[in-house]
Structure 1
Amino acid sequence: MKIPSEMSERIKELAEAISEAERVRVITHIDADGLSSAGIICSILHKEEKQFSVKAIKQLDKDNISELFSNMRSDLLILTDLGSGQADKLPKNKGVCIIDHHQPVSSEILQLNPHFFGIDGSREVSSSGLCYLVAREMGYRDLSPLAIVGAVGDNQDSRGELLGLNKEILKEAEKEGLVIVEKDIRIFGRQTRPLFKALEYTTNPYLPGISGSERGAIEFLEEIGVPLKRGDKWVRLVDLTEEEKKKVLTGLVMRIVKTGGSVESAKVLVGEVYTFPAEKGMLRDAKEYSTLLNACGRRGFPGVGIAVAMGDRNENLRKAESILDEYRREVSEAIELLQKEGLKEKGILKYFLAGDRIRDTVIGTVTSMLMGRREEVLVGMANSENGKVKVSARTTRELTNKGVNLGIALRRAAESVGGDGGGHSVAAGAKIPRGREMDLIEFLEKEIERQVNEIDG
């Protein structure tokens, strides 16, 4: 595996720190990549017979840093999938380390972050991929499937395949027989669900009139002439002939474009799919597995997701499947609400203020799904706890190629109104005081214009 030499040294430092510690605390993010990261690290700690605890949080900010770091009783505190953007605000404690792929700030804290080594953390490796590299250094190569799950959960396969270090990890897992790589239509439940249910459950991309609607999915298949059943068995995507798959794909692309979506957004429908042969049911497919973990975190049950990631295939898996059903309904209802109300515009920005009508933990998912045109920035906001507002922002590679960096722009905008923020060039998040939403929009619009003009100039 091709890893920069300085990065290899950092990986060894992390592996040694884990080996030497007796009591370890893990703090991670609530999304699929965060829970996959925790699953990897906690699996290492379990195998190494360490005492450990784990906590998943929505965001690391100035409001919870002191609480999380007070009365540390562990030898080592590991932050996964968060921390790099706030590293300069953290206590300078030798027992703290960060494994994160978001845009970092420099600090004295030990960090494993790809950006320090010239690797793009928004597309080439996720936090779970970095955690796997530490596990690999310690001899635990069987944990590579979780790195793939985390990368897919962070949409790092959005171009139809995994790239960079993700691709290296994928090749290694494929060689070990831990994953099968194929090309197919990428919809939820392609192996496990009747086709009409798979279409109903697909939310990325959002399928107008189909996502969240069983009747809409059935009518779509009837319209394009693809059977619901063969004999007494429901037809799944994997049961279709190549001709039938072409009908489904053409019909979906036409549906997306006719209702205002872009051809670019429809391209995510086709690409590599990743199957884990050792798993059963929905955990066989990386996309389904990542959605399951994401649902657990977003619905407030991250511990269930981490237990599944660590190998629980009994009670916690059953709980996770039930949580996923509730999550899908919640996301579909949120999308329908915003499609009825429409988005507001300010220059290059589009935005929506959901208030209390959409849960703050799903606002990022909803914002990603609503991305439309090739060159726009979309900002979603929802009320959070303690008088705060959760902000999620998304843009396209076309705009980042013109100089837009959402992670930097949103961090500056959030700080200008008394909040915290950061992330990637194409996707970022923040928390700001309630009542400052429009002030943030004003600042963010000017900051993005400044970034574009800086490149043009």
Structure 2
Amino acid sequence: MMSKIFKDEKSLQKYKYILKKITERIKNHEGLIRVITHHDTDGLTSGAIVIKMLYRLNKEFHLSIVEYLSKEVIDKLGEEHKDNKNNILYIFCDMGSAHIKGILNHGLNAIILDHHPPAINDLEIKGIYQLNSHIFGINGAKEISASGVCYLVAREFGFYDLSILAITGAIGDMQHRPFSGMNKFIINEARKYRYITGILKDIVYNCYDLPVWKSMMYSTQPYIRELNDGEKIINFLKKLNIDLNKTSFNEEDRQKLKIALMAYVEKDDDIIVDRYVIKHKIDDAFYLSELLNACGRKGIGSVGIGVALEDDECIKIAKETYIEYKEEIINQLKDTKINSLNNIEYFFGKKSMTGLIASLLVKDKPVLGIYEDGGYYKISSRGNETLVNEGLNLSEIMKIAVEFGGDGGGHNVASGARVPKIHLEEFLKKVDDAVGKQLKK
């Protein structure tokens, strides 16, 4: 039952109250609804859930996909609002809670559906409705993603089929090892209504609709340095007498491969995953999350939305984009030069790839990926569960950027920032010191 997710009855009642307010505002709004969402898997699934809901409710809508909810983006929306007054309802997905003051300054008629720590821990702020997991004591880094928050609104209208997109978004945000909290509730609901048709414990390379050798070559979860090109993988599979062109493993091949791969990974969980078979043209939620991520990171988020909505042409483009994107990642991993300070590591990389590269390189120190953007450096910081358990909170660490005229925030395990280029060295030194203090707590 959902009530068990909440820490107390008061939190449950607050949740029901704001959900009713949000659904009533959506139902009663007669003008354009502007949906603004993030470009990663969780953001794209969030956007897809909301626009599919609005379409079914016969609402007029327009979707924008952004990399970052910057001051410039908010100011542009403010100008749009000035011209249209109260005729536009803004729905922010997977963003907004950290920037609520900027949204307030422009007087936007807005709903925020987010799972990042909020700047203001209230449900209603001068007419803005905020559905954020943290307000109810639900951990947005582990127990629900933004697409899950969006689904909680959609299910109020009976759209339970959209649960599969919430599950896909949570996988994209690395909340699936294992699913817990509200994510688990959503999975159980999807199973109840048969939108999940199976959950299989399987080797990760069976998730992709690709020949086995390609599945291994393009997989970065896990990334195995010793098997990072086609020739090495082909030789590896030939020694095991496994057909290179199979698109899935039988039990015998699965066991042979598992035993052989244990020489390269720390534990079974690195190569064995729970596969969620969903009612979608891409019937594996893990693979769907990978396709959406590739689209977002390659700057074709609109194609990702089309994939989520099961458009055949978009699916074809996404599969091609996925291969191209993974090749770039593998090549960049080979070329990445790591710089070390006392408590952090950092590297300079390409736009839209730094976050993933950083997450793949994390071991015993958090890793920061950095790229230039005009007069700023944008930073993606990544930790892991072990570091978080030792006290790491990258959401707080990235807020140090504010001291240098930038901005930042996110989750304890994954966060981002933007810093003026002239202050990067000072920023990194202060971050290094701050991480050291957190990990010594």
Q: What is the TM-score normalised by the length of structure 2?
A: 0.91
Report how many residues are paired: 421
Please state if 1:78 is matched with 2:91.
Answer: yes
1:202: Cα distance to partner? 0.5
Q: What secondary structure, in the 3-state scheme, does the structure 1 residue paired with 2:346 have?
A: strand
**Cα distance in 1 between the residues matched to 2:383 and 2:194:** 36
Residue from 188, 193, 200 that aligns with 1:182: 200
266-275 vs 135-144, which moves further: 266-275
**Cα distance in 1 between the residues matched to 2:117 and 2:232:** 41
Q: What is the TM-score normalised by the length of structure 1?
A: 0.88
Q: Which amino acid aligns with 1:126?
A: S
**Cα distance in 2 between the residues matched to 1:270 and 1:69:** 47
1:404: Cα distance to partner? 1.9
Residue from 170, 187, 196 that aligns with 1:151: 170
- Residue 431 to residue 13, structure 1, CA distance change in 2 (3 Å): same
Are the counterparts in 1 of residues 200 and 276 from structure 2 also a CA contact under 8 Å? yes
Are the counterparts in 1 of residues 207 and 275 from structure 2 also a CA contact under 8 Å? no
Residue from 348, 352, 361 that aligns with 1:361: 352
**Cα distance in 1 between the residues matched to 2:404 and 2:236:** 46
> Which residue pairs with 2:111 in the alignment?
97
Residue from 187, 192, 211 that aligns with 1:194: 211
> Which residue pairs with 2:8 in the alignment?
none
> Which residue pairs with 1:218 in the alignment?
234
Please state if 1:235 is matched with 2:235.
Answer: no
1:436: Cα distance to partner? 2.4
Q: Which amino acid aligns with 2:202?
A: D
1:399: Cα distance to partner? 2.3
> Which residue pairs with 1:332 in the alignment?
330
1:94: Cα distance to partner? 5.7
Q: Which amino acid aligns with 1:219?
A: N
> Which residue pairs with 2:346 in the alignment?
351
Q: Which amino acid aligns with 2:309?
A: M
| Identity across the alignment (%) | 33
Q: What secondary structure, in the 3-state scheme, does the structure 2 residue paired with 1:35 have?
A: helix
> Which residue pairs with 1:255 in the alignment?
264
* Mapping 1:46-445, distance limit 5 Å: 46-72=55-81, 73=84, 74-92=87-105, 93=107, 95-106=109-120, 108=125, 109-157=128-176, 159=177, 161-179=178-196, 180-187=198-205, 190=207, 192-211=209-228, 213-223=229-239, 225-228=240-243, 234-237=245-248, 239-241=249-251, 243-256=252-265, 263=266, 267-276=269-278, 278-280=279-281, 283-312=282-311, 314-338=312-336, 341=337, 343-354=338-349, 358=350, 360-373=351-364, 376-384=365-373, 386-411=374-399, 413-445=400-432
**Cα distance in 2 between the residues matched to 1:437 and 1:94:** 33
> Which residue pairs with 2:2 in the alignment?
2
Q: What secondary structure, in the 3-state scheme, does the structure 1 residue paired with 2:274 have?
A: strand
Are the counterparts in 2 of residues 153 and 294 from structure 1 also a CA contact under 8 Å? yes
1:191: Cα distance to partner? 5.4
**Cα distance in 2 between the residues matched to 1:252 and 1:430:** 36
Unpaired segments of 5 or more residues in structure 1?
A: 257-262
- Residue 423 to residue 335, structure 1, CA distance change in 2 (3 Å): same
**Cα distance in 1 between the residues matched to 2:193 and 2:390:** 40
Cα RMSD (Å) of the superposition? 1.8
Unpaired segments of 5 or more residues in structure 2?
A: 4-11
Q: What secondary structure, in the 3-state scheme, does the structure 1 residue paired with 2:139 have?
A: coil
**Cα distance in 1 between the residues matched to 2:397 and 2:179:** 27
Q: Which amino acid aligns with 1:235?
A: K
Q: Which amino acid aligns with 1:236?
A: T
**Cα distance in 2 between the residues matched to 1:185 and 1:69:** 48
**Cα distance in 2 between the residues matched to 1:435 and 1:253:** 45
> Which residue pairs with 1:31 in the alignment?
40
Deviation per CA, 1:291-343: give whole Å up to 9, x if none: 1111111111111111222232x2222222222222112211111111xx3x1
1:61: Cα distance to partner? 2.1
Q: Which amino acid aligns with 1:290?
A: S
